[in-house]
Amino acid sequence: MLSKPLRKLGFLTIGLFDEADPRAGHESTLRLVELGERLGFDSAWVRNRHLQFGVSSPVAVLAAASQRTSRIELGTAVIPLGWENPLRLAEDLATVDLLSGGRLHAGVSAGRPMGYERVKAALYPATSDTERFGYERARRLLDCVRGEPVTAFRGTEGFESYSDRVQPHAPGLGSRMWYGGGSLSSARWAGQHAMNFLTSSVVKAETNTEGSAAGAAEPDFAAIQLSHIREFRAHHPDGDRARVSQGLVVIPTDSATAEQRARYEAYARIRLPRTAAPQGPERLLFAPDLVGPCELIADQLLAHPAYQEVDEVAFALPFTFAHEDYEQILTDITERLGPLLGWRSG
């Protein structure tokens, strides 16, 4: 029996493309967003990749998607702010939000850019050793998006009129800012700054959580993720009503061909060893991919302690599948899995 029916159903894609033909991959991503709207998804989210073969400019892609859809919410999950100027990003986010009719959900994260030593000379040639990549960068973005002054001057100079805050201003966007976090500190900061919280299939195994500990032999992903959700809500002005979205990798096989099922299972099997123990110096712990019939996946989700705390999701699509595979997965999610979780298309 469902205690909390799923209220919002979304999906997340990396927007993979071939280096020799990048337009085709970007077009595929836009077609998936259009398909998601037709199928009834509440939201479509685009990942961010720099110097790789996935979407590097999700804001630009979602600007295009906003003109090819009318209802589905459009999200970034997430923009790493170490690559961005907060004021300029705020201008772009507000522009896309207005173009979409108030459908943008901007997910961001703080932190040092991946591979910074390799890219810093190109990214910040004059200031690479003095740049700061902490939460202050996210706070600056929030202030810009929410309409705080960024200059002391407002008025006319010659024939030109100037604003003291970022323009255009999108009034509702400030309440649709999301922080993508996998640690207690990120969860706490997001709550304290009245953001929404995106959880994914990666957390830091950093703390004791209901029998699971950073030093334990078998850290429990679900228990750690649950602790992050509760930490976020404990520090958010909305408390238990604060919005959290969970983003596990979900691959239903109900309408898949035998060949597709074999590939899906092989994909999950190759990735499974990394879920057994924390990885690397940051002790990153990965959730297993959920692959199989929708009834099995629904049972796994309903038994997941962190899933039990949320009523919206953005299920992540695998990185390397074909467009036809994504169509099958998205169709099964809306037609079979969603209803099993209590979701109804709006």
| β-pair partners for 178 | 107, 196
Q: What confidence tier does 173 reach under pLDDT thresholds 50, 70, 90?
A: very high
Q: What is the number of alpha carbons within 13 Å of residue 142 lying toward its C-beta?
A: 21
In the chain, the number of structural domains is 1
Residue 175 belongs to a domain: yes
- The Cα–Cα gap between 91 and 168 comes to 7
Query: Is residue 76 in some structural domain?
Result: yes
- Residue 253 sits in which domain range? 8-150+167-340
Please, what is the end-to-end C-alpha distance for the chain in angstroms? 22
Contacts of 179 (CB under 8 A, 6+ apart): 78, 107, 108, 109, 138, 186, 189, 190, 193, 195, 196, 197, 198
Contacts of 42 (CB under 8 A, 6+ apart): 8, 9, 10, 72, 73, 312, 346
In this predicted structure, what is the pLDDT of residue 206? 83
| pLDDT greater than 50 at residue 209 | no
Provide the pLDDT for residue 3.
59
Q: 97-124, pLDDT tens digit by residue?
A: 999 999 999 999 999 999 999 999 999 9
Q: Which CATH number covers residue 60? A: 3.20.20.30
Structural domain contains residue 108: yes
Any alpha helices (H) in 146-235, and if so which ranges? 184-192, 221-234
Task: Flag whether 160 is in a domain.
Answer: no
Structure tokens at 120: 């810093």
Q: Give a yes or no: residue 158 inside a domain.
A: no
**Distance from C-alpha of 6 to C-alpha of 317, rounded to nearest angstrom:** 19
pLDDT at position 59 is: 98
Residue 346 pLDDT: 77
For residue 34, being part of any structural domain is answered with: yes
Q: Is residue 346 one of the residues assigned to a domain?
A: no
Tell me if 345 is assigned to some domain. Answer: no
Whether pTM exceeds 0.85: yes
**DSSP state for residue 8 in the 8-state scheme:** E
